[in-house]
């Protein structure tokens, strides 16, 4: 088991940093405390397994509005097991009240900022949906044009088919008339040959 003492400097007081540090110990079997110093820094003393403490250190050395850790002094030692849990050591009630008001204001700002980002993303999504709808409309217009061309093509095909049928009918009538004439002429020739005594 190890003990680590951290002095964090920067914008770390009246911004919810102590609560952030306390939450970072959740389900990690870390004991100790976090408290504000008169210098404006925050002191953190934590005990636990070394690999767990290293991850804890990485998690609390942050710059995430409104928290801005700019200095992070770390010293290691052997755990003395004097703490049963991890807690926030608070100052006088008046200072703590003002800090909570500041934290609430910072959190409200973050909520507003996130809401604004969400609205921007929604606007972007709506714009993309509009673009997709425009493309769909263009595709439908093209389909209508193609459908019109198909209708024209079908009309031409029908006219061609009607013309072919008419041509075939006319051709059949013409050939039938011609064959009848040829048959008459062949019969006349055959009769003439028979009269001349020529057998066909």
Closest by CA to 60, choosing from 16, 100, 106, is 16
Query: Out of 27, 36, 100, 173, which one is annotated catalytic?
Result: 36
CB neighbour burial string for 54-90, b if at least 16 within 10 angstroms, e if fewer: eebbeebebeeebbebeebeeeeeebeeebeebeeee
Q: Is 18 a catalytic residue?
A: yes
Q: Is 36 a catalytic residue?
A: yes
Helix (H, G, I), strand (E, B) or coil at 113: helix
Query: Out of 18, 90, 150, 173, which one is annotated catalytic?
Result: 18
H helix or E strand, kind and range, residue 75: strand 67-78
Q: Is 11 exposed, middle or buried (0-12, 13-18, 19+ CB in 10 A)?
A: middle
Calculate the alpha carbon distances from 108 to 15, 100, 104, 157 in Å. Answer: 12, 12, 6, 72
Going across the sheet that includes 2-11, the strands are 63-64, 67-78, 2-11, 42-48, 31-36, 86-89
> Is the distance from CB of 3 to CB of 46 less than 8 angstroms?
yes
* Catalytic residue annotation: 18, 36
């Amino acid at each position: 088991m190890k003990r680590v003492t951290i002095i964090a400097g920067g914008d770390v007081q009246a911004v919810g940093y102590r609560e952030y540090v306390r939450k970072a110990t959740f389900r990690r079997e870390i004991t100790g405390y976090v408290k504000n110093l008169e210098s404006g820094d925050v002191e953190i003393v934590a005990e636990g397994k070394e690999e767990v403490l290293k991850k804890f250190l990485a998690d609390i050395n942050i710059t995430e509005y409104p928290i801005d850790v700019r200095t992070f002094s770390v010293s290691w030692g052997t755990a003395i097991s004097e703490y049963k849990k991890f807690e926030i050591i608070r100052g006088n009630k008046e200072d703590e009240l003002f800090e909570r008001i500041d934290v609430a204001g910072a959190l409200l700002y973050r909520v507003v900022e996130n809401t604004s980002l969400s609205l921007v993303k929604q606007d972007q999504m709506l714009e993309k949906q509009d673009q997709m709808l425009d493309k769909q409309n263009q595709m439908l217009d093209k389909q209508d044009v193609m459908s019109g061309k198909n209708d024209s093509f079908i009309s031409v095909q029908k006219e061609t088919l009607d013309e072919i049928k008419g041509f075939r009918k006319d051709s059949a009538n013409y050939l039938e008339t011609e064959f009848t004439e040829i048959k008459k002429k062949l019969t006349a020739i055959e009769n003439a040959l028979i009269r001349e005594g020529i057998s066909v």
